[in-house]
Amino acid sequence: MRMRKLSNRRVTSQIKRQNSLLEAANMQNELQLAKLNMVMKAANIGMVDMEIDKDNPLNPETRVELSEEYWRLLGFESADEAPNTLGGWGSLVHPDDQERAFHVFKNHMLDKTGKTAFDVEQRLRKTDGEYICLRTTGKAIRDEDGNPIRFLNAAFDMTETKNLINEAEKQRIEAQNANRAKSEFLSHISHEIRTPMNAVIGSAEIQLQKEIDSPDIEEAFNTIYNSGNLLLNIINDVLDFSKIEAGKLELAPGKYDIPNLVYDTMQLNLLQYESKDIEFTFKIDENTPLELFGDEFRIKQILNNMLSNAFKYTGKGEIELSVFAEIDKEVSGADSYMPADCTLILQVRDTGQGMTDEQINKLFDEYTRFNMDVNRTIVGTGLGMHITKLLIDLMNGEILVESKLGKGSVFTVRLPQKRIGDAVCGTEAADKLRTSRFESMQKLNRAQIAHEYMPYGRVLIVDYIKSNLYIA
């Protein structure tokens, strides 16, 4: 009898312990469920729960249970007002999204492996007739044979995000169209300006070819000629800028030789800035390839912008140009421009004004100029370095800048190029370039034209602009 009472006490104790554990588990589940509900409310996530007939998983009469967050998203005041069937819920889907949404749902339900995901973006109609955009993900619970028996999904309202994306895309297209119109205008107006400018420069050059008795008149024509060339360079910058922005500037690679490229660019700058108290030095590695394949005109433009800036922003001091090359069997990143097996390196060092780190970061922005209180007399548009960077990028090259305010700057450009043959510049060519001295631009121009009577020759000139005919 005593043993039986003891056994009953143990059973009662075990039952109490199990009930206590069950009660604790229920409380824990309720707590987790409460936390989940709080998260869903805070995130505005709606839930859908459906009991699925495995024999007819796509039955439009399947009962649908919507969470409070879901029916409130759609503008309903209570769950009783909201659709309670799969077909009723589907009728709220935007007509343009219905076929796609149903296709995703069908594929998920009928795939017994459960590998086909249910993830769809769709628009649902609210009670006020407006549509909201919902991102819906879900998963079917299946029996041992893979048949769906229950379906759960969560919907997140992304209407505001979608509107922001659409508005950003609209603004991007508008900005793109405006930029295209601006580029087309700049291109057109630049062409229109270049025609009369060529007439101005040509007329001045014709007069400079003659023997002029009056120094004042000769100086006036020199001023017209030099100012016209300066203005033409600005026009060319604007034209290049508009072409690059419109994506219409194309590189024209061809054979060129390093000595001529360097000589022409040095001469242009030394003549233009010959009045400045600047010591110019030139260094070239004698092992630099003699002939390369690349866009000579654009490389000259890059080098000219670098040298021109060095001369402009160095009142007095030193400027050094260095040219050398790194030989490699294959230069990475060059294939989209042209096959390359070496890197041409152009470096310009000056002891001029220098720049702060902040100025270096803005150096390649369009229409950017610095220290205007000091540099107000320096002519330029602020496009030179911007165009230089764009041209270097087109060639898959890079430009490196080191500078200290008041100490000077070093610009290094690396351009992938293709070698032609094994010839190098050598000691003789390097020495000639280093020791060359240049004559006046006007004297050089005069020497280029030799007048010779040619009774046996005829020239046909066709142009609809009278000033062009006059110059020709």
The residue ranges of every structural domain in the chain are 40-157, 182-249+441-472, 254-438
Q: Is the pLDDT of residue 10 over 70?
A: no
Q: How confident is the model at residue 331 (pLDDT cuts 50, 70, 90)?
A: low
- The pLDDT of residue 368: 62
Q: Under CATH, what is the fold of the domain 254-438?
A: Heat Shock Protein 90 (3.30.565)
Q: What is the pLDDT of residue 251?
A: 84
Q: What is the pLDDT of residue 194?
A: 78
Structure tokens at 250: 């194309």
Q: How confident is the model at residue 159 (pLDDT cuts 50, 70, 90)?
A: confident
Share of the chain above pLDDT 70, in %: 79
Who has greater pLDDT, 29 or 351?
351
Q: What are phi and psi of 124, to 5 degrees?
A: -120, 145
Mean per-residue pLDDT, 45-49? 84
pLDDT value for 432:
74
pLDDT at 447: 43
- What confidence category does residue 223 fall into, taking pLDDT thresholds of 50, 70 and 90? confident
Three-class secondary structure assignment of the chain: CHHHHHHHHHHHHHHHHHHHHHHHHHHHHHHHHHHHHHHHHHHCEEEEEEECCCCCCCCCCCEEEECHHHHHHCCCCCCCCCCCEHHHHHCCECHHHHHHHHHHHHHHHHCCCCCCCEEEEEEEECCCCCEEEEEEEEEEEECCCCCEEEEEEEEEECHHHHHHHHHHHHHHHHHHHHHHHHHHHHHHHHHHHHHHHHHHHHHHHHHHHCCCCCHHHHHHHHHHHHHHHHHHHHHHHHHHHHHHHCCCCCCCCEEEEHHHHHHHHHHHHHHHCCCCEEEEEEEECCCCECEEEECHHHHHHHHHHHHHHHHHCCCEEEEEEEEEEEECCCCCCCCCCCCCCEEEEEEEEECCCCCCHHHHHHCCCCCCCCCHHHHCCCCCCCCHHHHHHHHHHHCCCEEEEEEECCCEEEEEEEEEEEECCCCECHHHHHHHHHHCCCCCHHHHHHHHCCCCCCCCCCCCCCCCCHHHHHHC
pLDDT at 302: 92
CA angle at 66 for the pair 123 and 35, rounded to the nearest 5°: 110
Q: Which amino acid is at 38?
A: M
Q: How does pLDDT run across 100-115, given as a tens digit for each residue? A: 999 999 999 999 998 9
Band (446; pLDDT cuts 50, 70, 90): very low
| Span 46-65, average pLDDT | 88
Candidates 361, 342, 256; CA nearest to 298 is 256
Average pLDDT over residues 309-322: 90
CATH topology of domain 40-157: Beta-Lactamase (3.30.450)
Mean pLDDT across the chain:
80
Confidence of residue 221 (pLDDT cuts 50, 70, 90): confident
